[in-house]
Amino acid sequence: MASSPSISARVRDSLARQRGIDEKRMFGGDAFLLHGNILVAIWNDSLIVRLGVDLGSAALQQPHVGPMNLTGKSMKGWVIVSAEGFDKDADLKTWIKLAISFVKTLEPK
């Protein structure tokens, strides 16, 4: 299944005022990077979110959130949120803000 253009458009809108954002094709969909580090990506109709190990572990307790496991091995610090977990724009923006907060702690690439 291809990634959802409508989800990509929503993410693009949410990141419109954020400086340092790039967009690339990754994970079979669109990925959004801050200073070269992945923030979020679209995979099918789900959102991949980079949160770091601590926040990523806590996020797994929320509904519609699971471990990012595209290759058979979970990636610590990353979660995948099903469409129901970000169907409201406010929810999508919350996930993006959490990702930005973590990625800002990383060295730019």
pLDDT of residue 3: 66
Strand ordering across the sheet containing 37-43: 21-26, 29-34, 37-43, 46-50, 78-81, 65-67
Cβ neighbours of residue 30 under 8 Å, at least 6 residues apart?
3, 8, 11, 23, 24, 41, 42
Residue 23 lies in a domain: yes
Supply the range of the domain harboring residue 22: 5-103
Pairing of strands 65-67, 21-26: unpaired
Residue 63 lies in a domain: yes
Q: What percent of the chain has pLDDT over 90?
A: 84
Residue 79 lies in a domain: yes
Residue 108 lies in a domain: no
Residue 18 lies in a domain: yes
Q: What is the pLDDT of residues 59-86, one digit of tens each?
A: 999 999 999 998 888 899 999 999 999 9
User: Per-residue pLDDT for 16 more than 80?
Assistant: yes
Query: Model's pTM, two decimal places?
Result: 0.93
In degrees rounded to 5, what are phi and psi of residue 101?
-55, -40
Residue 94 lies in a domain: yes
pLDDT of residue 2: 52
For 77-102, what is the mean pLDDT?
A: 97
Question: How many domains, the chain?
Answer: 1
User: Per-residue pLDDT for 1 more than 50?
Assistant: no
pLDDT of residue 82: 97
Is the CB of residue 78 less than 8 Å from the CB of residue 103?
Answer: no
Q: List the CATH number of the domain containing 14.
A: 3.90.1150.30
